[in-house]
A = this chain, B = another copy of it.
Amino acid sequence: MRVTILGGGGFLGQKLAARLAHEGLPGGRRVTSLTLFDLAAPAVPEADFPVHALAGDLADLPDAAIPDGTAIVVHLAAVVSAAAEADYDLGRRVNLRGTDAVIDACRKLSRPPRLVFTSSVASFSGGQGAALTDDARQIPANSYGAQKAAAELILADASRRGFLDAVTLRLPTIVVRPGRPNKAASSFVSAIIREPLLGLATTLPVPRDFAVWVASPRRAVDWLLHAATLDGAALGLDRSLTPPGLSVTVAEMLAALDAISPGASALVREAPDPLIAAIVGAWPAAFVPARALALGFAAHETLEAVVRAFVADGLEATRRDRQ
């Protein structure tokens, strides 16, 4: 099967590409070629199938990004939360016009591909008290979330029309991200684990009892692969799913950190940031992901397993990159 990853140079895109190269698709389906598309040509993993790297603007998507015969498109490209809040036009161009460009590229194919789209917990509001069910309305409190929720509607309609076959995953905040802090308002959620493990001080913009809905990179990739091969007929008109993340407090995260690296949480200093707190404070702290569980999306591992996985998979690379 031909596969394309839009946003293939990003963190999850690279993880997914590596998994496809090592393990292929679930159910023993073979990848015959992989195209990675991003603003800059993505790094290419070693694989026993051809891997193409392509650079460009999502809103002006070249045909080569989704060549005819593509069976699976994983669309991860986005302008993330704080960036879309800072630059409305950029967020709209990538998060909305980009989605239209993806639809138009899929319409040109001889067969409608599976389109795995990543939406976000940021498309909901409700805040700390919330534990949202699959029936909850999306009332976003930030432009990124509004653009993602709108894109979900447009992709569900494109699925109904037969242009493509979308499965949207509203991803939790991914933790632990390697590398450096980024422009996501939730950047601190990874930083409070990653930076102390590197021996570096970092700041906490929210209180310690602040709860957040998270998922590990490994589980997120598991979900993307499951979404790529799921029977779409089970979804009906509603192509969006909230996968089973974990609801954790900052204090629980710091305890998991200390369990693996005793005393490391001393490097985390509280520095309230009203702007960050306003964005992430509106996101629901928990979901009841019944529909995704019923559709076979893997339940989440423990928080300590998440931190251990980062130590095993991401810490050394991060240390190397940042030297």
Considering the chains assembled together, what is the distance between the CA atoms of A135 and B126 in angstroms? 13
A139 to B88 CA separation, bound complex (whole angstroms): 26
Query: What residues on B are CB-neighbors of A238 within 8 Å?
Result: 137, 139
B-contacting 9-mer, from A28-36, A150-158, A177-185, A264-272: A150-158
B138 contacts A153, C-beta separation under 8 Å: yes
**In-complex Cβ contact of A153 among B146, B160, B237 (8 A):** B146
- Shortest Cβ distance from A152 into B: residue: B150
Restricting to A76-131, which residues have a CB under 8 Å from any CB of B?
A: 88, 92, 96, 100, 125
Partner of A150, one of B139, B154, B237: B154
Q: Is the interface of A mostly helix, strand, loop or mixed?
A: helix
A322 within 8 A of B: no
Chain B, residue nearest A104 (CB): B89
Give chain B residues whose Cβ lies under 8 Å from the Cβ of A142: 157
The reply on A140 being an interface residue by CB < 8 A is: yes
Q: Determine the distance from Cα of A187 to Cα of B96 in the docked complex, in whole angstroms.
A: 31
A82 to chain B, nearest CB (A): 14
CB atoms of B157 and A146 under 8 A apart: yes
Tell me whether A242 is interfacial, beta carbon within 8 Å. Answer: no
A149: min CB distance to chain B, Å: 5
Give the number of residues in A that approach B within 8 Å (Cβ atoms): 27
Considering residues A92, A137, A146, which has the most beta carbons from chain B within 10 angstroms of its beta carbon? A146
Task: Confirm or deny: A216 has a beta carbon within 8 angstroms of a beta carbon on chain B.
Answer: no
Q: Is the CB of B156 within 8 A of A146?
A: yes
Taking the closest CB of chain B, its distance from the CB of A280, in whole angstroms, is 15
- Distance of A109 Cα from B252 Cα, bound (Å): 48
| Closest-CB distance, A312 to chain B (whole angstroms) | 40
User: Is A143 located at the chain interface by the 8 A CB criterion?
Assistant: yes
Give the docked Cα–Cα distance between A225 and B148 (Å). Answer: 32
User: Contact: B140 with A157, CB < 8 Å?
Assistant: yes
Q: In the complex, what residues of B have CB within 8 A of residue A88's CB?
A: 161
**Bound CA span A156–B157, Å:** 21
Q: Does A141 contact B (CB under 8 A)?
A: yes
> Given the complex of chains A and B, what is the CA–CA distance between A147 and B151 in angstroms?
10
Complex contact A237–B137 (CB within 8 A): no
Do A137 and B135 have beta carbons less than 8 Å apart? yes
Could you say which of B137, B141, B143, B160 contacts A137, with CB atoms under 8 Å apart?
B137
Q: A123's closest neighbor in chain B, by CB?
A: B153
Assembly CA distance A88 to B154 (angstroms): 11
The distance from the CB of A24 to the nearest CB of chain B, in whole angstroms, is: 34
Interface residues of A in 226-254 (CB under 8 A from B): 237-238
Please give 7 more A-B residue pairs, beta carbons under 8 A apart, in addition to A137-B138, A150-B150. Answer: A96-B96, A140-B156, A140-B237, A146-B154, A146-B156, A147-B154, A150-B153
Chain A interface residues toward B at CB < 8 A: 88, 92, 96, 100, 125, 135-143, 146-147, 149-151, 153-154, 156-157, 160-161, 237-238
5 smallest CB-CB distances across A and B, nearest first, come from A146-B157, A150-B150, A150-B153, A146-B153, A139-B238
